[in-house]
């Protein structure tokens, strides 16, 4: 179908090429804004995605079609997933208390670590798949998830997480918002059940030692020592729901759920290209830069009083933004989010504060 078939229903319109997609948008003529039967039939025949937006002038219709999308190297994504499964399983074996796993891992040790690696990668896969599915719904050229393996002896988790690549610019704030928020919501929907299940498998010491904002720990393999890990409001709520009081020695499954909460909070930091930056820009437009600056400055005292790792995240915020904390503009930034998405955005803000850990690690 040519765009002229659709645009006859518009008062005025424009067409834009964005990577492998073509966007046609316009202000729908008042007599067709319901939409009319003729317009509804034409939209049904459109070979692509469409959505409506409201504005003071009336109703806008946005149509997106895709052409010449890049071929994916699915073998590479599968290989990175399997390597990350292996390195995270080594970390899981160490969390389960197996010594010597770094040097001569056996198949039995890999299997012992699966109780950590499988739920952890499930959380990461859910998070990135949320982004990917939302991007593909809007016909945005996005890659499948890339998993990042990491030597478990340098990082006991055995991974640096996962990410997708957006290979084209985004059209408007609605598209940016939906892609940005889909990851944290999908990830936390898996992380909470994993955490609750893991806590039921964990060992509770009612009179055991605890630290401020750190009521759980993992013992790890001999030589690692006990490492306390931080609390968040959601973590405390899960413990209270299960009636757990005192120190908790986390089972590897619970450790995977805890990492899921940490990943959610870090991604929701309202900085540049992080998920929180996408959401904040979509909600507040150019005013987002003041929010980003305030949060970036707050990371400095947080690093001094609680956890030096916040200084690393302050540096990452600068690097991800290529020297800027502000989020890059979308192509059509003028239309604001609808009330339903604004409410969902505030729920994302609440989720950030519920999962935020001032002191994730206490050595």
The 10s digit of each residue's pLDDT in 260-282 is 999 999 999 998 889 999 999 99
Q: Single out the residue of 181, 174, 182, 141 nearest to residue 333, CA to CA.
A: 174
3-state secondary structure of 70: coil
228 vs 181, more confident = 181
* Domain map (residue ranges) of the chain: 3-66, 111-145+169-196+257-362
Give tens-digit pLDDT for 52-104.
Answer: 988 888 889 999 988 877 788 999 999 999 999 999 998 888 887 776 666 66
CB burial readout 167-181, b (16+ within 10 A) else e: ebbbbbbbbbbbbbb
The Cα 83–Cα 286 span in angstroms is 41
Mean pLDDT of all residues in 313-335: 83
In which band, very low, low, confident or very high, does the pLDDT at 222 lie, cut at 50, 70 and 90? very low
pLDDT value at position 227? 80
The whole-chain average pLDDT of the chain stands at: 88
Strand ranges for 212-312 from DSSP E: 216-218, 227-229, 247-249
In which band, very low, low, confident or very high, does the pLDDT at 1 lie, cut at 50, 70 and 90? low
Mean pLDDT of all residues in 178-202: 96
Give tens-digit pLDDT for 9-48.
Answer: 888 888 888 888 889 888 998 888 888 888 888 888 888 8
Is it the case that residue 2 has pLDDT exceeding 60? Answer: no
Most confident of 10-19, 24-33, 234-243, 315-324: 234-243
pLDDT value at position 4? 65
Is it the case that residue 145 has pLDDT exceeding 90? Answer: yes
Task: With beta carbons less than 8 A apart as the criterion, state whether 223 and 99 touch.
Answer: yes
Task: With beta carbons less than 8 A apart as the criterion, state whether 358 and 191 touch.
Answer: no
Q: Across the strands, what pairs with 18?
A: 21
Is it the case that residue 252 has pLDDT exceeding 50? Answer: yes
Q: How far is CA 72 from the centre of its chain?
A: 22
Task: With beta carbons less than 8 A apart as the criterion, state whether 93 and 109 touch.
Answer: yes
Give the pairing of strands 227-229 and 361-362.
antiparallel
């Amino acid at each position: 179908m040519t765009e002229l078939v659709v645009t006859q229903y518009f008062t005025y319109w424009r067409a834009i090429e964005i990577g492998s997609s073509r966007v046609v948008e316009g202000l729908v003529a008042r007599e067709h804004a319901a939409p009319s039967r003729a317009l509804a039939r034409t939209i049904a025949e459109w070979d692509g995605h469409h959505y409506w937006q409201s504005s003071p002038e009336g109703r806008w219709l946005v149509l997106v079609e895709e052409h010449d999308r890049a071929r994916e190297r699915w073998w590479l994504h599968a290989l990175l997933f399997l390597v990350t499964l292996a390195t995270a399983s080594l970390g899981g074996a160490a969390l389960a208390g197996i010594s010597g796993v770094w040097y001569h891992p056996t198949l039995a040790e890999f299997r012992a670590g699966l109780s950590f690696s499988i739920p952890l990668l499930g959380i990461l896969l859910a998070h990135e798949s949320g982004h990917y599915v939302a991007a593909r719904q809007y016909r945005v050229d996005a890659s499948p998830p890339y998993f990042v393996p990491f030597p478990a002896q340098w990082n006991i988790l055995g991974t640096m997480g996962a990410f997708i690549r957006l290979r084209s610019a985004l059209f408007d704030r609605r598209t940016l918002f939906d892609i940005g928020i889909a990851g944290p919501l999908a990830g936390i929907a898996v992380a909470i059940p994993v955490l609750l299940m893991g806590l039921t498998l964990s060992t509770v010491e009612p009179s055991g030692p605890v630290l401020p904002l750190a009521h759980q720990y993992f013992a790890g393999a001999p030589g690692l020592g006990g490492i306390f890990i931080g609390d968040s409001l959601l973590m405390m709520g899960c413990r209270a729901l299960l009636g757990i009081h005192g120190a908790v020695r986390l089972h590897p499954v619970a450790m995977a759920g805890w990492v899921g909460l940490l990943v959610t909070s870090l991604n929701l930091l309202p900085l540049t290209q992080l998920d929180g930056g996408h959401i904040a820009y979509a909600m507040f437009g150019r005013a987002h830069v003041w929010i980003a600056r305030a949060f970036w400055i707050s990371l400095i005292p947080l690093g001094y009083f609680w956890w030096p790792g916040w200084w690393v995240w302050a540096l990452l915020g600068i690097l991800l933004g290529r020297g800027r904390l502000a989020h890059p503009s979308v192509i059509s930034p003028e239309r604001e989010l609808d009330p339903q998405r604004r409410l969902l955005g505030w729920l994302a803000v609440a989720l950030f504060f519920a999962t935020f850990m001032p002191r994730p690690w206490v050595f």
